[in-house]
Amino acid sequence: MEVLVIGDGGREHALALALSADPIVAAVHAAPGNPGTAQLGTNHPVAAADPAAVAALARELGVGLVVVGPEAPLAAGVADAVRDAGIPCFGPSAAAARIEASKSFAKEVMAAAGVPTGRAITCHDETEVAAALDALGAPHVVKDDGLAAGKGVVVTDDRAVALAHGTACGDVVVEEFLDGPEVSLFAITDGTTVLPLLPAQDFKRVGDGDAGPNTGGMGAYTPLPWLASEVVTQVVDTIIEPTVAEMRRRGTPFAGLLYTGLAITADGPKVIEFNARFGDPETQVLLPLLATPLAQVLLAAATGRLAEVGDLAWRTGSAVAVVLAAHGYPAPPRSGDPITGLDRVGGDAHVIHAGTRRQADGGVVASGGRVLAVVGVGESLTAARDTAYAGMADIHLDGGHHRTDIARTAAEQQSGQES
């Protein structure tokens, strides 16, 4: 079987890498892909969010499975168009992807399913935002009601800042602040059966110690030594399965990857957000530990046969991803700076390309905000992060920056538990 991956980021390179390791996969294609996916297979210059063009490419290539990476193509109906062409597609319909595309829709589904989440008020103008801020109190959480790539959220104690963001966005959701460590829990589903992945954590702020503005994600690790193992079962039972059942009941079954962003509060896990796709960079750490062949699982989910797969199998050990960002990120980044040292990264570390471009002379330059991730795999979090940071030390990008504290606290905790 040949597989087509839609998108051009780090998540798509990580998906292509894991898919190409599945023995049932004869070749991997990507559209549009990046220099990382080009190393694994063939890139095709087709716009990811053009449903007709993606379906036509999938038919022309004769692929047996299409895997859609980012949210924008899902919201645009790419998965619908591929399925209408008779080709299995891993990724929800546009109607089901609304669980990510609209924060107010997600809240409506959660309310109907009885899923624990923060109280929220949808607002349409300044007066409503002001009233909602006062009703819910500080810290204030104000979210753009549309897709904003993780950057449409302001969390602040400053009422004036919260009000300004709320007024600038148009429709916004003002939310109760959820206090507690954040966990990303992904589940693969065919609309009925739910298979959770390992819990992971990502680092959304640009700087060490969670300083500075929000980003798309500066690093990630899995598993989480500080999270009680029963929490995953609890989240599947009280959050993921009721949500999947509610989507089915509405006639818009969610088949694909349901990403639950959680706060582990004093009252138990509560939903911060749902996404309709694999998270980035969490995917970069989860897939290297997945022992079950990925293409077979995604094909089963895409064809309503996930119940036949059984629980996912995982390798022992840990994985840590550290993102290298371009000069200026998360403000508009500088493009075109050369990246050197990529060939030196090896052993238990590997490079996942995100915002890179290969030039005619073979050199690789930065072409996006999050440029690449170095992923380290090891027996412990300490080993995995040492490996990732050793790989990062081999790479040079003028003006590039990365966090130095990815998974540090968790690694210390894990070694404390063991000694």
Q: Which residues bind ligand GLY (CB under 6 A)?
A: 150, 202, 217, 275, 279-280, 282
Residue 279 lies near ligand AMP (rule: CB under 6 A): no
**Of 292, 281, 286, nearest in space to 324 by CA:** 281
Smallest gap from Cβ 13 to ligand AMP, in A, equals: 22
Q: Which is nearer to ligand GLY, 133 or 227 (CB)?
A: 227
Residue 258 lies near ligand AMP (rule: CB under 6 A): no
Which amino acid is present at 376?
A: G
Residue 155 lies near ligand AMP (rule: CB under 6 A): yes
Residue 49 neighbours by CB distance under 10 Å: 18
Smallest gap from Cβ 297 to ligand AMP, in A, equals: 25
Instruction: Please tell me the number of Cα atoms within 13 Å of 308 on its side-chain side.
Output: 10
Residue from 63, 153, 169, 306 binding ligand AMP (CB under 6 A)? 153
163-182 mask for ligand AMP (x: CB under 6 A)? ------------xxxx---x
Residue from 13, 204, 350, 370 binding ligand AMP (CB under 6 A)? 204
Q: At what angle do helices 103-113 and 241-249 cross, to 10 degrees?
A: 100
CA distances to 49, 121, 147, 162, 375 from 107, rounded to whole Å, are 26, 9, 15, 20, 34
Residue 105 lies near ligand AMP (rule: CB under 6 A): no
Say which residues have a Cβ less than 8 Å from residue 268's Cβ, sequence separation at least 6.
Answer: 116, 234, 238
Q: Which is nearer to ligand GLY, 8 or 202 (CB)?
A: 202
Please name the helix (run of DSSP H) or strand (run of DSSP E) that holds residue 166, with its range, or none: helix 159-169
Q: Which is nearer to ligand AMP, 178 or 295 (CB)?
A: 178
Residue from 57, 197, 272, 285 binding ligand AMP (CB under 6 A)? 272
Smallest gap from Cβ 168 to ligand AMP, in A, equals: 16
Q: Which is nearer to ligand GLY, 12 or 282 (CB)?
A: 282
Residue 162 lies near ligand AMP (rule: CB under 6 A): no
How far is Cα 113 from Cα 245, in angstroms, rounded to an integer? Answer: 8
Size of the site for ligand AMP (CB under 6 A): 16
The DSSP secondary structure of 275-340, one letter per residue, reads ESS--TTHHHHHGGGB-S-HHHHHHHHHTT-GGGT-SPPB-SSEEEEEEEE-TTTTSSPP---EEE
Please name the helix (run of DSSP H) or strand (run of DSSP E) that holds residue 165, with its range, or none: helix 159-169
Respond yes or no on whether the N-terminal peptide bond of residue 293 is cis (omega within 30° of 0).
Answer: no
Q: Which is nearer to ligand GLY, 163 or 188 (CB)?
A: 188
Smallest gap from Cβ 121 to ligand AMP, in A, equals: 12
Residue nearest to ligand GLY (CB): 279
8 contact, one of ligand GLY, ligand AMP, none, CB 5-8 Å limit per kind: none
How far is Cα 201 from Cα 361, in angstroms, rounded to an integer? Answer: 38
Smallest gap from Cβ 118 to ligand AMP, in A, equals: 4
280 contact, one of ligand AMP, ligand GLY, none, CB 5-8 Å limit per kind: ligand GLY
**Of 173, 147, 206, nearest in space to 369 by CA:** 206
Q: Which is nearer to ligand GLY, 132 or 282 (CB)?
A: 282
Q: And the tokens for 101?
A: 């595309």
Residue 115 lies near ligand AMP (rule: CB under 6 A): no
Question: Segment contacting ligand AMP (CB under 6 A): 108-116, 149-157, 278-286, 380-388?
Answer: 149-157
282 contact, one of ligand AMP, ligand GLY, none, CB 5-8 Å limit per kind: ligand GLY
Q: And the tokens for 29?
A: 């294609």
Q: List b or e across 369-384, with b for residues whose CB sees 16 or more CB atoms inside 10 angstroms.
A: bbbbbbbbbbebbbbb
Q: And the tokens for 178?
A: 């959820």
Binding site for ligand AMP (CB under 6 A): 118, 141, 143, 150, 153, 155, 175-178, 182, 204, 214, 261, 272-273
